[in-house]
Amino acid sequence: MKKRTKKHEADDDLRAEYDLSALEHGVRGKYFAHYRKGTNLVLLSPDVAAYFPDDHSVNVALRNLIHAGKSSAKRRTSK
């Protein structure tokens, strides 16, 4: 077994005051099923988020945008 050098000790960013016993009870794969279902999280820029009070209003705006895009695409192809 290799001896730890002072260089490796300096690179160790785990502080002495961390309670390692609290880390022993982690559950492996706790969120795996949720991840497999699929999530689609999007981070809005603060200037954009200022216009939307909640997630429902964002979804309504995006659905309207999708609908408008489909309508304009139909008009372009029907000419």
Q: What is the 3-state secondary structure (H, E, C) of 23-43?
A: HCCCCCCCCHHHHHHCCCCCC
56 belongs to a structural domain? yes
User: For residue 71, what are the domain limits?
Assistant: 45-79
pLDDT value, residue 9: 55
In angstroms, the first-to-last Cα distance of the chain is 77
- Residue 11 belongs to a domain: no
Confidence at residue 46, expressed as pLDDT on a 0 to 100 scale? 95
Residue 50 lies inside a defined structural domain of this protein: yes
Mean pLDDT in consecutive groups of 10 residues from the start of the chain, 79 residues: 58 76 80 82 92 95 95 73
pLDDT at 2: 63
What is the number of domains present in the chain? Answer: 1
Residue 73 lies in a domain: yes
Q: Tell me the C-alpha distance between 53 and 63, whole Å.
A: 16
In a domain, 26, yes or no: no
Query: Residue 62: its pLDDT value, please?
Result: 95
In a domain, 77, yes or no: yes
pTM of the predicted structure, to 2 decimals: 0.46
